[in-house]
Structure 1
Amino acid sequence: MELRELECFLVLAEELHFGRTGERLYLTQSRVSQLLRALETRIGARLFERTSRRVALTPLGESFLAGLRPAYDALKGTVEEAREAARGVAGRLRVGFQGTADGRVMAAIDAFQRDHPGCAVDITEIPLSDPFGAVHRGEVDTAIVLLPVREPGLALGPVFSRQRQTLAVSVRHPFADRSSLSAEDLADCPLVAPAGTAPGYWREAQAPAVTPGGRPVPRGPLVTTLQEGLTQVAANRGGMLLCRPTADYHGRGDITFVPVTGLPDSALGLVRRRDADTARLRAFAAAVAAAAEAR
């Protein structure tokens, strides 16, 4: 069995288009057709139904895909692990972060690069409104995001920086003079909330629709970035829940941060795709855990 034939089948099963499959594999359409015919000859049956208008998996093709995908991913992972073991922790690691790459994040990156000078680290901000998309799409290798994380395709760990929540409000807001708030007080303040493609459970955790006692919380502006949210807060268009370190980092004269009791602590976590467990990622996770423990 030729590995290239299997790769061609897997990509064609995703694209269902010979032209796009060829583009992804840097092959001509005729070469894609040739590889597919060779695979179907080995198996002894058609894996795709092909007409001038559409390409679709046959029932046998569906079954073959279900069995092949995990086996191919495991084989690819084994080869990658062997390659990394041979050359050590090297290459390039792309790290995403939400909002702020603060002292905790930078301490972990500095420690990782000190211990693994052969591995370069690219640092990329990911939108507040899309905490997991860049990891799912392979745009970053790992990301530090706000919890909760309930994505079946992502692995979580370590979890760190559990902190009490604060409510960011304009200095003109009635809450600005309060020394603290209860979660029930949120019913009297529209909450700035993440927009976009973030999962519903995650958006609810950052801007709950109801208080723990069941009182509805008014919905404030929808934003895609932390800075956009803080600008809405400064304009007195709503409050925004933030952890204490983020509040301290973004201190400014037109916003005050009031502690809130009765809410779960905020926490950060490192996420990666479950099918992307590499030596680089394991070493970086260890650096994050060590930096968090040191602080």
Structure 2
Amino acid sequence: MGGLEARELECFLILAEELHFGRTGEQLRVSQSRVSQLLRALERRVGARLFTRTSRRVALTPLGERFLTRLRPAYAELRAAVEDARSAARGVEGVLRIGFQGTADDGLMAALAAFRGAHPDCGTEIVELPFSDPFGAVRAGTVDAAVVLLPVTEPDLVLGPRFAEQRQNVAVSARHPLASRTSLTAAEVFATPLITPAPPAPAYWRRAQAPSDLPGPTVRTLQEGLTLVATGQAAMLLCGPTSEYHARKDIAHVPADGLPDSTLGLIWHRDGETERVRAFARAVRETG
């Protein structure tokens, strides 16, 4: 690899995300001049510019875009391999990072408590995931595993234990004609415009969260969706715990009959299965 250094690759990946030398230096805990040195060294190895830089703007060159596309998954796999070796050598230590969607409900908290009790030397962090990007954090390696709404049919992700099956609710504005109903049929749900997760969530997953025959607005976050519901622009499907957690006077939550239950699943990347992840999966199975 021509003396290629991991620090140069890390610098490139962060700069490609931030497009700002100062913020890149802050993340690497080095000066801006050191960022420039690392980038120049990498560009010398490649033999061409990877970024265009002016006093006002930093942007990837076409070659830089191509390099980023190839490097990102390879670097994530390399990190996962090193982490897996460390985990095997040390046992369940370090920090377990878990992503979640919607609400960190009782089931997730019970699994975390069981994991902490069994592995007191391992810290835990929980990170809320965007409604529109359930899989991105796992792929980027910013979380070790994630609790997401099903379905999941991604070939690069492992679907572990499934849990928390719940009847679905339709969240509507308190002023909506359906707000006074005690329940809704599936046909009524299909005939109601539903708020849909925006890309990059895959089409099949977006359809599962908004199975309506009428188009509704797209949102990136759960809070954006609830705001649109409250203003009467569309309805939104929510699982039971999320409905309870986000109860508010301007939104009514009406149970839906005839729809598949909302189900959560624990996922992780195929190249990122560490002892910590396996131990947490066991805790989910035991408490679920």
TM-score normalised over the length of structure 1: 0.72
Structure 2 SS opposite 1:184: helix
Q: Which whole-Å deviations, capped at 9, do the CAs of 1:186-234 have from their partners, x for residues lacking one?
A: 2442211112311111111101243xxxxxx2x2332222222122212
Structure 2 SS opposite 1:185: helix
Q: Measure the CA separation in 2 of the matches of 1:127 and 1:89.
A: 28
Structure 1 SS opposite 2:131: coil
Q: Measure the CA separation in 2 of the matches of 1:154 and 1:200.
A: 17
Q: In the alignment, is residue 266 of structure 1 matched against residue 269 of structure 2?
A: no
Partner of 1:159: 162
* AA of the residue aligned to 1:167: V
State which of 170, 174, 178 in structure 2 corresponds to 1:175: 178
Structure 2 SS opposite 1:220: coil
Q: In the alignment, is residue 232 of structure 1 matched against residue 228 of structure 2?
A: yes
* AA of the residue aligned to 1:245: P
Identity %: 52
Structure 1 SS opposite 2:162: strand
Contact between 2:81 and 2:272, CA under 8 Å: does it hold in 1?
no
Partner of 1:119: 122
Contact between 2:159 and 2:268, CA under 8 Å: does it hold in 1?
yes
1:4 offset after TM fit, Å? 6.5
Q: Measure the CA separation in 2 of the matches of 1:30 and 1:186.
A: 57
RMSD: 3.8
1:251 offset after TM fit, Å? 2.0
Structure 1 SS opposite 2:249: coil
Question: How many equivalent residue pairs?
Answer: 256
Partner of 2:111: 108
* AA of the residue aligned to 1:227: Q
* AA of the residue aligned to 2:93: A
Contact between 1:99 and 1:225, CA under 8 Å: does it hold in 2?
no
Give runs of aligned pairs for residues 88-103 of structure 1, distance below 5 A.
Answer: 88-103=91-106
- For the structure 1 residues 171 and 77, does the alpha-carbon distance in structure 2 shift closer, same or farther, using more than 3 Å as the test? closer
Q: Measure the CA separation in 2 of the matches of 1:168 and 1:31.
A: 51
Contact between 2:192 and 2:212, CA under 8 Å: does it hold in 1?
no
Q: Which whole-Å deviations, capped at 9, do the CAs of 1:40-91 have from their partners, x for residues lacking one?
A: xxxxxxxx9x6789998xxxxxxxx9xxx7xxx6x98676545323322000
Gaps of at least 5 residues in structure 2 are 14-33, 51-60, 64-69
- For the structure 1 residues 276 and 235, does the alpha-carbon distance in structure 2 shift closer, same or farther, using more than 3 Å as the test? same
- For the structure 1 residues 127 and 30, does the alpha-carbon distance in structure 2 shift closer, same or farther, using more than 3 Å as the test? closer
Partner of 1:145: 148
State which of 286, 290, 294 in structure 1 corresponds to 2:282: 286
Q: Measure the CA separation in 1 of the matches of 2:243 and 2:79.
A: 43
Contact between 2:93 and 2:276, CA under 8 Å: does it hold in 1?
yes
- For the structure 1 residues 51 and 85, does the alpha-carbon distance in structure 2 shift closer, same or farther, using more than 3 Å as the test? closer
1:170 offset after TM fit, Å? 1.6
* AA of the residue aligned to 1:283: A
Q: Which has the larger radius of gyration?
A: 1
Partner of 2:248: 252
1:156 offset after TM fit, Å? 0.8
Q: Measure the CA separation in 2 of the matches of 1:186 and 1:84.
A: 47
- For the structure 1 residues 99 and 79, does the alpha-carbon distance in structure 2 shift closer, same or farther, using more than 3 Å as the test? closer
- For the structure 1 residues 174 and 51, does the alpha-carbon distance in structure 2 shift closer, same or farther, using more than 3 Å as the test? closer
Contact between 2:84 and 2:272, CA under 8 Å: does it hold in 1?
no
Contact between 2:191 and 2:212, CA under 8 Å: does it hold in 1?
no
1:260 offset after TM fit, Å? 1.3
